[in-house]
Structure 1
Amino acid sequence: MLLPAARRDALLDRLRRDGRLVVKDVALDLGLSEDSIRRDLRELDAAGLAVRVYGGALPASPAVADYDTRARVARDSKTRVAEAAVALIEPGATVLLDGGTTTLALVDALPRTFAGTLITHSPTIAAALLHHDAEVIMLGGRLFKHSAVACGAAAAEAARGISADVFFLGVTGVHPSAGLTTGDADEAAMKRVLAERAAETFVLASEEKLGAASRFGILPLDAVAGVVADLDGDAALAEELTRAGARLIGTGARRET
Structure 2
Amino acid sequence: MFPRQRRAEMLDEINRIGRVSVDDLAGRYDISVDSIRKDLQQLAKAGKCRRVYGGAVKIAPEAPEKEAGEPGTTPLASTDEAAVGRLAVARRAFVEINDGDSIFLDISRTNVILARLLAESDKRVILTTNMIDVLKEVSTCPRITALGTGGYLNEDLTGFIGSATVSLLEPLLFSKAFIGTSGIDPDRNAVMADSFDSGAVKMRVVENASYKFLLADAGKFDKRGLYRFASIDEFTAVITDESSLPILEKIQRRGIPTLMA
Question: Which TM-score tier does this pair reach, normalised by the shorter chain?
Answer: 0.5 to 0.7
Residue equivalent to 1:105: 113
Question: Is residue 177–residue 244 contact of structure 1 (8 Å, CA) maintained in 2?
Answer: no
Over the matched positions of the two proteins, sequence identity in percent amounts to 20
Residue equivalent to 1:61: none
CA positional deviation for 1:215: 1.7
Residue equivalent to 2:97: 89
CA positional deviation for 1:206: 1.0
Q: Does residue 124 of the first structure (1) align with residue 100 of the second (2)?
A: no
Letter in 2 for 1:193: R
User: Structure 1 length as normaliser, TM-score?
Assistant: 0.68
For residues 122 and 73 of structure 1, do their structure 2 counterparts lie closer, same or farther at Cα, with a shift above 3 Å needed?
farther
Letter in 2 for 1:218: F
Q: Which segments of 5 or more consecutive residues in structure 1 lack a partner in the other structure? A: 1-47, 49-64, 252-257
Q: Does residue 201 of the first structure (1) align with residue 212 of the second (2)?
A: yes
CA positional deviation for 1:244: 4.1
Q: Which segments of 5 or more consecutive residues in structure 2 lack a partner in the other structure? A: 1-67
CA positional deviation for 1:92: 1.2
Letter in 2 for 1:77: G
Residue equivalent to 2:197: 186
Alpha-carbon separation, structure 2, partners of 1:98 and 1:247: 21
Q: Deviations over 1:121-179 (max 9, x none)?
A: 11111111112221101110011233222112221111012111000001011221242
Q: How does 1:26-175 map to 2 (within 5 A)?
A: 66-67=74-75, 69-70=77-78, 74-110=82-118, 111-132=120-141, 133-175=143-185
Residue equivalent to 2:248: 238
Alpha-carbon separation, structure 2, partners of 1:153 and 1:128: 26
Alpha-carbon separation, structure 2, partners of 1:205 and 1:245: 17
Q: Secondary structure at the match of 1:156?
A: helix
Question: Is residue 173–residue 209 contact of structure 1 (8 Å, CA) maintained in 2?
Answer: yes
Question: Is residue 122–residue 150 contact of structure 1 (8 Å, CA) maintained in 2?
Answer: yes
